């Protein structure tokens, strides 16, 4: 999965407001994202730009690529776009002690629960259901 740091448009018509997000590159501009990294309001004078610097640097170190506009805004804050290699001590430690296997996360599915007392259908629904059954019998006989 290729991660990009991009601006996601929010706000009303003719009143743009952007969230800086980390998202899968295959997702649409305003679609699902992984994490909100900050926001940008171009209409404020001077423009308002708030970014969680530590989150952005974490995503950049993981290999996320900023879009052109996001990179421009990050440069204005002095955030470097280049990957920082992991310290050698950390790399050596990771090689010596392999991580334990991750536990499988079970997805909770809604179990079909039988009701002790079935729901009571409204008179209108019962009427329509009987009408459908009668119409189905007529078509079957013909």
Over residues 25-34, the pLDDT tens digits come to 888 888 888 8
pTM of the model: 0.56
pLDDT of residue 29: 80
What does the pLDDT average to over 49-69? 91
What gap in Å lies between CA 142 and CA 122, rounded to an integer? 31
Q: From 1.10.357.20, 3.40.50.300, 3.30.1320.10, 1.10.3720.10, which CATH number describes the 3-77 domain?
A: 3.30.1320.10
Judged against a pLDDT cut of 80, whether residue 84 lies above it is answered with no
- Reduce the secondary structure of the chain to three states and give it as a string: CCEEEEEEEECCCCCCEEEEEEEECCCCCCCCCCEEEEEEECCCCCCEEEECHHHHHHHHHCCCEECHHHHHHHHHHCCCCCCCCCCHHHHHHHHHCCCCCCCCCCCCCCCCCCCCCCCCCCHHHHHHHHHHHHHHHHHHHC
Average pLDDT value for residue range 89-93: 51
């Amino acid at each position: 999965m290729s991660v990009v740091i991009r601006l996601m448009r929010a706000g009303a018509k003719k009143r743009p407001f952007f969230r800086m997000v980390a998202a899968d590159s295959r997702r649409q501009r305003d679609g699902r994202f992984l994490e909100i990294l900050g926001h940008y309001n171009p209409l404020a004078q001077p423009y308002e730009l708030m970014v969680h610097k530590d989150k952005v640097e974490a995503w950049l170190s993981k290999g996320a690529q900023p879009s052109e506009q996001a990179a421009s805004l990050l440069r204005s804050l002095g955030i470097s776009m280049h990957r920082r290699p992991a310290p050698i001590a950390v790399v050596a430690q990771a090689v010596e002690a392999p991580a334990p296997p991750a536990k499988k996360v079970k997805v909770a599915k809604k179990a079909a629960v039988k009701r002790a007392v079935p729901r009571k259908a409204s008179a209108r629904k019962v009427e329509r259901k009987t009408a459908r059954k009668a119409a189905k019998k007529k078509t079957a006989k013909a």
